[in-house]
Amino acid sequence: MLPENLLRMPSVSLVQSWYERSFEEVLKFENGDADDQVLLDSFCEALIKIRNRHSNVVPTMAQGVLELKETHPVDQQTEASIQYFLHRFYMSRISIRMLINQHVTLFGGGIAPPIGHVGCVDPNCNVASVVQDAYENARFLCEQYYLAAPDLVIEQHNTVTPKEGSITFTYVPSHLHHIMFELIKNSMRAVVEHHGADSDKLPPLHIRIVKGKEDISMKISDRGGGIPRSLSDQLFHYMYSTAPQPPASGVESAPLAGYGYGLPLSRLYARYVDVIFHLSHEF
């Protein structure tokens, strides 16, 4: 369903070949005996191989779109078609990887999940702990590139059970980490570039975590200068970024700047788990 010119781009053809090969490998198990342990072990091995093969799908597909824009004019209708496809394509990818990770973690016989986890789902996911870990990873990149990074202040407000300490809920820690890492590194880059890396004291990031009766909300506040309202509609478009576009080779590209996929992918992660948990409650 992609424009023909995009389908002919080398990177897009490569991604398509990965999916064709993975589909062929999965089909071999379609009519297999579910009680055959050897077959089940082979299935897990195949899933791990498929997961590893597709680890670079996002940057490779992004490179394919760049190849198109560098060689062909892209009108508004083509751009809308690409955005629509990428939205469904990446949501499907998140879902497939979630299923693979869950199956392999439960039945793969490899590294056991942390105590208390159900596969890759943590029934007692500590929000502040995941946020702190995401901050430390983003801070490492920020200091590596800018030689400076703002501090972090975390506030927690539990309106349901105030006497409890940390706020926890059922979630996939890796998804929450991905979302918070992307948001935090965006804030860090904005703060450092707005105030200057040689500033005596960079203003800290503030993250407020609030647990209500139905939801847990997280708000990130920074003093990075903000974004013009005229650009707000483009923030969740794939391939849009306020940072300079990285070179095709990836050499000398800023670690805090990418292809403009951070915000739209983070929103997909949030929406995917929300939909899954909603359906599980319905059933």
Check if 185 is active-site. yes
Residue tagged active-site, from 101, 126, 175, 178: 178
CB within 8 Å of 258: residues ≥ 6 apart: 241, 243, 246
Residue with tokens 């799908």: 57
Residue tagged active-site, from 185, 194, 195, 282: 185
Alpha helices in the chain (DSSP H): 4-7, 10-27, 37-53, 57-71, 76-107, 127-146, 173-195, 262-282
**Alpha carbon distance 205, 155 (integer Å):** 11
Ramachandran area for residue 196 (φ above 0: left; ψ -120 to 50: alpha; else beta): left
Token pair belonging to 223:
């003093």
Residue tagged active-site, from 186, 194, 195, 278: 186
**Alpha carbon distance 187, 262 (integer Å):** 12
Residue tagged active-site, from 182, 193, 194, 281: 182
> Is the CB of residue 203 less than 8 Å from the CB of residue 195?
yes
Check if 178 is active-site. yes
**Alpha carbon distance 42, 44 (integer Å):** 5
Check if 182 is active-site. yes
Residues carrying an active site annotation: 178, 182, 185-186
